[in-house]
Structure 1
Amino acid sequence: MANEIGAELRRIRKSRGESIVEVAMATHTSPASFTKWENEQTIPSERSVRKLSEYYDVKPEKLLGLAYPEKYAPKDETPAATPAPSNAIRIEDVISPATELSYNGQLVSEQDKRLFGAFVSGILLSGKQDKD
């Protein structure tokens, strides 16, 4: 896997119009180290990445995810969802406080609605656990 942190450090630095020496001095690193990072010869330490993210005003997770993807890159834990048919009703909408439910022509009480929501959630969660 290519070292993506080097290209991103170069892109940020150039977009700010700064030299390697300027950034190195401001972040208390050596120009030689910074050059190696940008040229993807070495990867900066986590501490250096945090200093750079602070200096560049970038979320540390963004740069850490590029430098150390196995440790910091966001994990896509949810599989791609199958699109719901156009006539589908979202369960979240059914149990929303703004939605009134009725059964046999009578409005369902808020307490019964919460019980219904808990019941449906339990069914959905048990099905998810069976898949894991």
Structure 2
Amino acid sequence: MAQAVGSAMRQIRKNRGESIVDVAKATHTSPASFTKWENDQTVPSERSIRKLAEYYNIDPLELLALAYPDKYAPLQAEKLEEAKIKTIRVEDIFDNDTVLSYNDKPLSATAKAMISAFISGMIVNRAE
């Protein structure tokens, strides 16, 4: 399972539109090391993963659990269970069968469409 950490790191970097050199410079890592990590030739140290997570502004457990599953996957599962995270797909929110409400009052179809357009715009702009 440790092989998945390189793919995850590549996906995060590409979603942010950054090059390996950009991230390497920002995290004081060599581009060669970063390339090896992304190609699953080597696994980054816990310290390097924590630096990357700080740079990407993500929970380090997300990457640590991929790189070191025996040590961190149980901690991540425990943390998720404690938080009782409920995942909702954004596109499901705007499904025709979904009723959005505010202060216990259903929103009109127009308000729902406006919210959908606003959120879609935010997501698209963030991806760029």
TM-score, normalised by the number of residues in structure 2: 0.57
Q: Does 1:38 align with 2:38?
A: yes
| Equivalent residue, structure 2, for 1:23 | 23
- Determine which structure has greater relative contact order: mean sequence separation of CA pairs < 8 Å that are 6+ residues apart, divided by chain length: 2
Q: Does 1:56 align with 2:56?
A: yes
Coordinate RMSD, CA, aligned: 1.8
- One-letter amino acid matched to 2:60: P
Shift of 1:74: 2.4
Which structure 2 residues correspond to residues 75-86 of structure 1 after superposition, within 5 A? none
Q: Name the structure where helix makes up a greater proportion of residues.
A: 2
Give deviations 1:48-70, integer Å, cap 9, x for gaps.
Answer: 00000000011011110011001
Q: Does 1:72 align with 2:38?
A: no
> Structure 2, unaligned stretches of length 5 or more?
79-128
**1:60 and 1:17 mapped to 2: Cα distance?**
20
- One-letter amino acid matched to 2:9: L
Aligned partners of 2:37 and 2:43 also within 8 Å: yes
**2:24 and 2:56 mapped to 1: Cα distance?**
12
Shift of 1:31: 0.1
**2:20 and 2:70 mapped to 1: Cα distance?**
28
Shift of 1:2: 5.2
| Equivalent residue, structure 1, for 2:4 | 4
TM-score, normalised by the number of residues in structure 1: 0.55
Moved over 3 A (4+): none
Identity over the aligned pairs, expressed in percent? 70
**1:57 and 1:4 mapped to 2: Cα distance?**
19
Give deviations 1:80-119, integer Å, cap 9, x for gaps.
Answer: xxxxxxxxxxxxxxxxxxxxxxxxxxxxxxxxxxxxxxxx
